[in-house]
A and B are shown apart, each in its own frame.
Chain A
Amino acid sequence: MIRLRDSNIGPVLTVVFAIVVIWYVASFGMNRAWVMDQAARAGETPGFSEQLAGTMNQDRPVLPAPHQVASELYDGVFDKKITSKRSLVYHGFITLQATFWGFALGIVVGIGLAVIIVLNRAANLTLMPWAIISQTIPVVALAPMIVVLTNAMGADSLMVPKAIIAAYLSFFPVLVSMVKGLTSPDAMQLDLLRTYGASKSQVFWKLRMPASLPYFFASLKIAVAASLVGAIVGELPTGAIAGLGARMLIGSQFGNPMIMWSALFAAAILAAMLIWVVTGIEKAAARAMGGGAA
Chain B
Amino acid sequence: MTDNRAARFLLPFAFGVAVIAIWEVIVSTFSIPIAILPAPSAIWAAIKGSGDILLVDWLQTVVRGALNGLWIGTSAGVVTAIAIDRFEFLRRGLLPVANFVAALPIVGVAPIMVMWFGFDWHSKAAVVTVMVFFPILVNTLAGLQDTDRMQRDLMLTYSANYWQTLAKLRLPAAMPFIFNGLKIAATLALIGAIVAEYFGSPTRGMGFRISTEVGRLGIDMVWAEIAVAALSGTALYGAVTLIERGVTFWHPSQRSGRKN
Check whether chain A touches chain B (CB < 8 angstroms): yes
The answer to whether A145 and B223 have CB atoms under 8 Å apart is yes
* Bound-complex Cα distance A293 to B234 (A): 35
Quick check: is B45 within 8 A (CB to CB) of the other chain?
no
A241 located at the interface, meaning its Cβ lies under 8 Å from any Cβ of chain B in the complex: no
**28 pairs across A/B with beta carbons < 8 Å?**
A8-B93, A8-B96, A11-B94, A12-B93, A121-B3, A125-B3, A127-B12, A127-B15, A128-B12, A130-B15, A133-B230, A138-B190, A138-B194, A140-B195, A140-B198, A141-B210, A145-B219, A145-B222, A183-B260, A225-B105, A229-B107, A233-B107, A236-B195, A237-B210, A248-B108, A248-B111, A257-B112, A261-B112
Q: Identify which of A130, A148, A263, A275 contacts B12 (C-beta below 8 A).
A: A130
Residues on A with beta carbons closer than 8 Å to the beta carbon of B44: none
A229 touches B8 (CB 8 A): no
Partner of B116, one of A62, A133, A232, A237: A62
User: Which residues of the partner chain B approach A257 to less than 8 Å between Cβ atoms?
Assistant: 112, 115
> In the complex, which of the residues B104, B115, B233 contacts A268, with contact meaning CB atoms closer than 8 Å?
B104
Cβ contact within 8 Å between A149 and B36: yes
Interface string of B198-222 (1 = CB under 8 A from A): 1110000011001100100001001
Known contacts A184-B260, A268-B104, A272-B100; 12 additional CB pairs below 8 A are: A11-B89, A11-B90, A14-B93, A15-B94, A138-B190, A140-B198, A144-B222, A145-B37, A190-B260, A225-B104, A233-B191, A260-B115
CA separation between A236 and B105, bound complex, in Å? 13
Nearest-neighbour CB distance to chain B for A257, whole angstroms, equals 6
6 smallest A-B Cβ distances: which pairs?
A11-B93, A15-B93, A252-B111, A136-B233, A11-B92, A129-B12
**Across the two chains, which residue of chain B brings its CB closest to A139?**
B191
Inter-chain CA distance A237–B211, complex, in Å, is 7
A12 touches B92 (CB 8 A): yes
Q: In the complex, what residues of A have CB within 8 A of residue B214's CB?
A: 144, 148, 237
Q: Which of B36, B110, B211 contacts A152 (CB 8 A)?
A: B36
Residues of A within 8 A of B108 (CB): 232, 244-245, 248, 263-264, 267-268
Per-position contact with B for A117-153: 1 when CB-CB < 8 Å, else 0? Answer: 0000110011111101101111111101100110010
